[in-house]
Structure 1
Amino acid sequence: MNIYQPLKSIQESIMELENYLKNELSEATVKNYLYEIEKFRKHYKNPGKLKYQNIMDYVELLRKTYNPQSIKRTVYAIKKYYDYLVETEKIKQNPAQNIKIRDGKENPVQLQELLTEQELQKLLEPREERYPILTKRNQIIMSLLVNQALLTSDIERLRIGDLDLQNARISIHKTGITNERILDLKADQILLFYQYLQEEREMLTTFRTEKENYFLLGKLGAKITSDDINYLVSTYKKNFTKKLTSITIRQSVIKLKLDQGENLRKVQYFAGHKHADTTEKYKETGVDALQNAINQFHPIR
Structure 2
Amino acid sequence: MTFSQYLQSKDHSPATIRTYEKYLRVFTGWLQSECIHPDGVCYEELLAFMRWLQAGGRSREAVAIQLCAVRHYFDWRIAIKAGCNNPAAGVYIKGIPRRLPAGMLDIEMLQELYRNYCQLYASTLCGRVILGLLVFQGLTVREIRQLEITDVRLEEGMLYVRGGRSYNGRRLKLDAAQVRQLERCMNAHGQLSKIRGMRLLNGHYLREGVSKLLKALKKLNPVIKSVQQIRGSVITEWLHHYNVRQVQYMAGHKYASSTQRYQLSGLEDLAAQLDEHHPIEIGIHADHHGSL
Bin for the TM-score computed over the shorter chain: 0.5 to 0.7
Give 1:34 shift.
4.0
Of the three residues 16, 19, 22, the one matched with 1:39 is 22
Give 1:267 shift.
2.0
Q: Is the 8 A contact 1:234 1:245 kept in 2?
A: no
Query: Secondary structure, in 3 states, of the residue corresponding to 2:206?
Result: coil
Q: TM-score, normalised by structure 2?
A: 0.64
Residue of structure 1 in register with 2:235 after alignment: 254
Q: Answer with 62-71 or 31-40: which moved more.
A: 62-71
Q: TM-score, normalised by structure 1?
A: 0.63
Give 1:154 shift.
1.9
Residue of structure 2 in register with 1:282 after alignment: 262
- Shift of the 154–198 alpha-carbon distance from structure 1 to 2, 3 Å rule, reads same
Residue of structure 2 in register with 1:166 after alignment: 155
Residue identity over aligned pairs, in percent, reads: 21
Corresponding letter in the other structure for 2:245: R
Q: Is the 8 A contact 2:170 2:250 kept in 1?
A: yes
Residue of structure 2 in register with 1:157 after alignment: 146
Of the three residues 211, 217, 221, the one matched with 2:202 is 217
Corresponding letter in the other structure for 1:117: I
Of the three residues 248, 261, 266, the one matched with 1:268 is 248
Q: Is the 8 A contact 2:24 2:69 kept in 1?
A: no
Corresponding letter in the other structure for 2:107: E
Q: Is the 8 A contact 1:33 1:77 kept in 2?
A: no
- Shift of the 44–298 alpha-carbon distance from structure 1 to 2, 3 Å rule, reads closer
Query: Secondary structure, in 3 states, of the residue corresponding to 2:155?
Result: helix
How many Å separate the matches in 2 of 1:74 and 1:273? 23
Residue of structure 2 in register with 1:6 after alignment: none
How many Å separate the matches in 2 of 1:236 and 1:158? 23
Give 1:93 shift.
10
How many Å separate the matches in 1 of 2:10 and 2:205? 17
Q: Is the 8 A contact 1:230 1:246 kept in 2?
A: no
Q: How many positions carry a matched residue from both structures?
A: 259
Residue of structure 2 in register with 1:5 after alignment: none
- Shift of the 157–17 alpha-carbon distance from structure 1 to 2, 3 Å rule, reads farther
Residue of structure 1 in register with 2:32 after alignment: none
Q: Is the 8 A contact 2:100 2:262 kept in 1?
A: no
Query: Secondary structure, in 3 states, of the residue corresponding to 1:255?
Result: helix
Residue of structure 1 in register with 2:97 after alignment: 105
Query: Secondary structure, in 3 states, of the residue corresponding to 2:114?
Result: coil
Query: Secondary structure, in 3 states, of the residue corresponding to 1:182?
Result: strand
User: What pairs with 1:177-188 in structure 2 (closer than 5 Å)?
Assistant: 177-188=166-177
Of the three residues 8, 17, 28, the one matched with 2:8 is 17
User: Which whole-Å deviations, capped at 9, do the CAs of 1:140-179 have from their partners, x for residues lacking one?
Assistant: 1111111111122222222334333332222223344433
Query: Would you say 1:233 and 2:214 are equivalent positions?
Result: yes
Q: Is the 8 A contact 1:178 1:274 kept in 2?
A: yes
User: Which whole-Å deviations, capped at 9, do the CAs of 1:233-278 have from their partners, x for residues lacking one?
Assistant: 244123324252122111211222233x333332222122344444
How many Å separate the matches in 2 of 1:288 and 1:123? 20
Structure whose residues are more often helix by fraction:
2
Residue of structure 2 in register with 1:296 after alignment: 277
Unaligned runs of 5+ residues in structure 1 are 1-8, 22-29
Of the three residues 128, 135, 153, the one matched with 1:139 is 128
Unaligned runs of 5+ residues in structure 2 are 29-37, 281-292
How many Å separate the matches in 1 of 2:169 and 2:272? 35
Give 1:192 shift.
2.0
Query: Secondary structure, in 3 states, of the residue corresponding to 1:236?
Result: helix
Give 1:183 shift.
1.2
Q: Is the 8 A contact 1:230 1:245 kept in 2?
A: no
Give 1:229 shift.
3.2
How many Å separate the matches in 2 of 1:232 and 1:18? 38
How many Å separate the matches in 2 of 1:124 and 1:223? 21
